[in-house]
Amino acid sequence: MLEVLTNPNKFFETRKKGRENLKIPVFIVLISGIIGGISAFLSSSIMMEAMAKTLPPEAQGFMSFMPISTAIGAVIFSFIIWLIVAAVFFGISCIFKGEGNFKRTLEFVGYGYIPTIIGGLISLVLVYNFITTVQIPAITTTDPTKIKEVIAPLMKSPMMMLSSAVGMLFMLWSANIWVFGLKHARNLSTKNALITVAIPVAAYILYSVYRMLGW
């Protein structure tokens, strides 16, 4: 399994000779989703704590389930994103007359999520350190615009900026794996596989930078 991180070209070349199998990719995406879910749980919990005095009593009971539902949603969303990413790669590769079925593409894209597990763990530590060391100001309004004004400085704190940067860095590692995964899943040249992966990944990173700086 480590070969997919150190020599993805050889890993996928060998894996391609076997039948499609989604068991391991599903497990990889699940672990990535769980880590993201824990981060979402921590972030939601601290947000609910900040808004505790603002919400009416009847709303507090309902909103207490928000951290758990957010965590579950993050896990589910990770699988949806996996499908979308594979579909986008599959679609772009059609421009280069790629060959190979979608299941193989989905499988190989799943292996590319391994770096997000590593990056997710680092980000989780940073998020946990942030919420346990930074004083979160009480939110005394339910106006979304004013809530954003309170949260914006927090999102631009060095710890949170570093967390975002870590996520983008490990995304580039995933992109490197996806290049070789698409090369073998869709029978593309390395150049065409690189273009297939670079377009959506570049768009994602630009959007992430925009959000990070635009808070």
Tens digit of each residue's pLDDT (9 = 90 or more) over 4-58: 999 999 999 999 999 999 999 999 999 999 999 998 888 777 777 666 556 555 5
pLDDT band per the 50, 70, 90 thresholds, residue 164: confident
pLDDT band per the 50, 70, 90 thresholds, residue 163: confident
pLDDT 10s digits, 173-208: 999 999 999 999 999 999 999 999 999 999 999 988
**Is the pLDDT score of 59 beyond 60?**
no
Q: What pTM was computed for the model? A: 0.87
pLDDT of residue 153: 64
pLDDT of residue 143: 59
**Is the pLDDT score of 156 beyond 90?**
no
pLDDT of residue 69: 87
pLDDT 10s digits, 113-140: 999 999 999 999 988 888 777 776 666 6
Cβ–Cβ under 8 Å, residues 31 and 74: no
pLDDT band per the 50, 70, 90 thresholds, residue 85: very high
For residue 209, what are its two tokens?
A: 């930078």
Contacts 24+ apart (CB under 8 A), 87-96: 88/200, 89/178, 89/182, 89/186, 89/196, 89/197, 89/200, 90/186, 92/195, 92/196, 92/199, 92/200, 93/182, 93/186, 93/188, 93/192, 93/193, 93/196, 96/186, 96/188, 96/189, 96/192, 96/195, 96/196
pLDDT of residue 189: 96
pLDDT band per the 50, 70, 90 thresholds, residue 67: confident
pLDDT of residue 152: 63
**Is the pLDDT score of 84 beyond 90?**
yes
pLDDT of residue 213: 72
pLDDT of residue 53: 57
